[in-house]
Structure 1
Amino acid sequence: MVVGGDSFVGGSVVEALRRRGHRALASTRRRETVDADRVFLDFETPEAFRAPPEVKYAYLIAAATNYDRCETDPMARVINVDLIPRTVASLLEQGLHVTFISTNSVFGGERPWPHEDDPHAPGIAYAQQKSDGEAVVLAAADRLGARDRLNITRLTKIMNATVSPVPGWVAAWKRGEAVEPFEDLVFAPISVNFVGEALATLGEKRLSGNLHLSGAENVSYVAFAHALASRLGVDKALIKPTTSVAKGIHIAFKPRYSGLGMTRTTQLSGVEPQPLDRLIDDLVVDLRS
């Protein structure tokens, strides 16, 4: 079962599982969309969620992720630290294996390639909430003796053709207009297709502990723009590098290093970091479809 199956990441996991021949259910908060493959789950209801009896594994791909909301809305912390971890605890108590999705931002972005078990250094509200949520989930697993049925999987930036800045860049290039990517914004992007397939693999292997899924390179948005433009046959003159500082734009999470170390994850699963050229491949396929 994929909790958050309506999201583009959750949807990719559902599709990957079904391609592999698994029965995959998605949860939804919209009662009118419930059917044989969609179960109702609302974190904010006081009743504990009971998974259908045939479900043996659950992915928790849900959170309040908007950085501004996490800074200003107390409900964001309730969702990330109380409600979603409560659901994880309930699923563990029911005997399920669980993947709890977290984020590279818990490490703060000042250390290159943090390993799966490295200490956290959250610097923004969202990162602090996810770090605290991890602690709550681990405490519940310890209380239930269920650490061997839980993995916490942290992700870097997830991309497809609909994720900013790709749509805006492609539209500008089609008009023959230049784009202005930021040289001072670094990330280690991975494609939503890569995430779906990788999470399916982690689930099949019933791994426990901390795991990472990351791009293989820390790249600036300028380097990313050049890689995408080159693959699409766009003139590099249509890329005009700038910085967020020069544009007067405040960016809440602006790490020096975004990538995650994947040594343990690769050893246990065979899943390796996604190279930038493979990400570009997936984006081009997505754009053309």
Structure 2
Amino acid sequence: MFKVAVIGASGLLGRAVVRELAAETDWQVVQTAFRHAIPAQIALDVRDRQAVEAFVTREAPDAIVIAAAERRPDVCEHDPAAARALNVDAVRSMAQAARQRGAWVLSISTDYVFDGTTPPYRDDDPPNPLNAYGRSKLDGERALLDATDNALVLRLPLLYGPVVEWSESAVTILVPAVLASARAGAPAVAMDAWATRYPTFTPDVAVVIRALLARCADGNAVRGIVQWSGDEPMTKYEIAERLARALGVEARLAAQTAPADATPRPRDCHLASTRLEALGIGRRTPFDVAIGTVLGGFERRGSEARATTHTDQ
């Protein structure tokens, strides 16, 4: 039986991958989490090299998906050492342990390895990260590929999907501000209209990862670097507008046409997905359709939680 370890299964992308792999009844899926481990998950601090080695030796996976990372650029900028512990050192430890086992490793990286000046970017274009987050993820790519030749880097842009709290994604984190701006007498909320992003739906990424794992299981593992991206360009301001439409509110938004973030961010890092497309791998759900399911699902869960709380009282 093909055995897959999903590292960081409680996160935004990890949850989507686990849900997608549930359809593979001939596979065994092992999940790990750090802070939010549930009974189906194994608690694992990926920064602990000995714990990583013990986990891989004990579970003996055929493939490992590393979805655990420090993904917040501002946090990385303020504490680069902590970011590197997750984004570089932990990846290296996992890759070294996997090499001893002979396991294939897929590690998630980011469009922020590029400087955003000459999009679209192919997987073999020279990287030039502008901030600590991009530098840590680029170093993580190199650590992975230096540690084992049986590995794949999957670069992704801005992710969104089913969330347990709005702050899990840079897309859904805008929802409270959009709703607040729609209240009577509320001031307009400033939203970045300078940088172009390509929001990518985590269930679509999970489909990509499942296809890559299937190739590995069949003895045709993809190695090196690949990229996957949504194909709808939009600024944060435009994302907020579309959120407002999906929520059915009249939001008051002000477009910021110059960069205002304290941490430098690239202007347009559109990732070319040509290698995966050539393999026939990929799925893209239209943003308005996908965000509708995200918002609706969050509201349903909130209603159920409120009902449960009322009953318990």
Q: Does structure 2 retain, via aligned residues, the 8 Å contact 1:124–1:252?
A: yes
Return the alpha-carbon distance in structure 1 between the equivalents of residues 200 and 19 of structure 2: 17
Q: State the match for 2:308 in structure 1.
A: none
Q: Does structure 2 retain, via aligned residues, the 8 Å contact 1:202–1:269?
A: no
**Coordinate RMSD, CA, aligned:** 2.7
Structure 2 runs not aligned, ≥5 long: 217-221, 301-313
Matched, 1:271 2:282: yes
Matched, 1:119 2:126: yes
Matched, 1:67 2:73: yes
Return the alpha-carbon distance in structure 2 between the equivalents of residues 107 and 226 of structure 1: 27
Q: How does 1:94-113 map to 2 (within 5 A)?
A: 94-113=101-120
Which of residues 162, 165, 169 in structure 1 aligns to 2:173? 165
Q: How does 1:181-192 map to 2 (within 5 A)?
A: 181-192=191-202
Q: State the match for 1:41 in structure 2.
A: 44
Which of residues 22, 33, 40 in structure 2 aligns to 1:18? 22
Which of residues 169, 173, 190 in structure 2 aligns to 1:180? 190
Matched, 1:56 2:62: yes
Q: Tell me the CA shift for residue 285 of structure 1.
A: 4.1
Letter in 2 for 1:208: R
Q: State the match for 1:4 in structure 2.
A: 8
1:10-39 Cα shifts (integer Å, max 9, x gaps): 111111111343432111336x9575x423
Q: Tell me the CA shift for residue 271 of structure 1.
A: 0.7
TM-score, length-normalised on structure 1? 0.83
Q: Does structure 2 retain, via aligned residues, the 8 Å contact 1:109–1:258?
A: yes
1:142-179 Cα shifts (integer Å, max 9, x gaps): xxxxx3x3110011011135234333145326635554
Q: State the match for 1:144 in structure 2.
A: none
Q: Does structure 2 retain, via aligned residues, the 8 Å contact 1:4–1:28?
A: yes
Return the alpha-carbon distance in structure 2 between the equivalents of residues 96 and 82 of structure 1: 18
Q: State the match for 2:157 in structure 1.
A: 156
1:242-288 Cα shifts (integer Å, max 9, x gaps): 21759xx4242432213211011111142155543444344344345
Structure 1 runs not aligned, ≥5 long: 142-146
SS state of the match for residue 254, structure 2?
A: coil
Q: How does 1:111-260 map to 2 (within 5 A)?
A: 111-141=118-148, 147=149, 149-160=150-161, 162=166, 163=169, 164-172=172-180, 175=183, 177=186, 179-206=189-216, 207-235=222-250, 238-243=251-256, 245=258, 249-260=260-271
Return the alpha-carbon distance in structure 2 between the equivalents of residues 46 and 102 of structure 1: 20
1:190-225 Cα shifts (integer Å, max 9, x gaps): 122222232222222222221112120321122222
Comparing 75-84 with 112-121, greater Cα deviation is found at 75-84
Q: Tell me the CA shift for residue 133 of structure 1.
A: 1.6
Q: Does structure 1 retain, via aligned residues, the 8 Å contact 2:105–2:152?
A: yes
Return the alpha-carbon distance in structure 2 between the equivalents of residues 120 and 230 of structure 1: 36
Letter in 2 for 1:187: R
User: How many pairs align?
Assistant: 277
TM-score, length-normalised on structure 2? 0.78
Q: Tell me the CA shift for residue 91 of structure 1.
A: 1.1
Q: 1:252 to 1:275 in 2, by over 3 A?
A: farther
Letter in 2 for 1:165: I
The percentage of counterpart residues that share the same residue type is 25
